[in-house]
Amino acid sequence: MSNLFSLLFDGGAFFMFPILFLLILIIVLIARGFIDVSKREKIISLISSLGLFTLVWGFLGQTIGLIQGFDSIEKVGGNISPGLIAGGLKISLLSPVFGIIVFLIARAGIIVLTWTNKNKE
């Protein structure tokens, strides 16, 4: 559990914690979609928008992280070990991977809510 918590900080708290918050919000909305059937279409639309936002937010975090990393390499003069570059690239992938996971959870929730909605009609 502490390893997962450290990954949140490694991936950049500015990007990872909003994705975590949105994951919690998406899970709450999926649960609410089962409870409040009358607002299910609005909830599905909101889950869809939030899921896409988390995906884009994660890739924005990666892009900004890569730009900062390349700036650091440029300042050093290019004498960087391949292991250091690989470590930096690994860290830069954390926020998009987390965004993709949350996006997939949102899409799975939408699929289930849509499927159960059609069964009730």
Over residues 23-75, the pLDDT tens digits come to 999 999 999 999 998 999 999 999 999 999 999 999 999 999 999 888 888 88
**Does residue 102 form part of some domain?**
yes
**Does residue 10 form part of some domain?**
no
**Does residue 57 form part of some domain?**
yes
Within 8 A by CB and 6+ apart from 14, the residues are 61
Domains contained in the chain, number: 1
**Does residue 3 form part of some domain?**
no
- What pTM value is reported for the model? 0.88
Angle (nearest 5°) at CA 23 between 114 and 63: 115
**Domain containing residue 82:** 17-120
**Does residue 52 form part of some domain?**
yes
Whose tokens are 């440029």? That residue is: 74
Residue 77: CB atoms within 10 A of its CB come to: 7
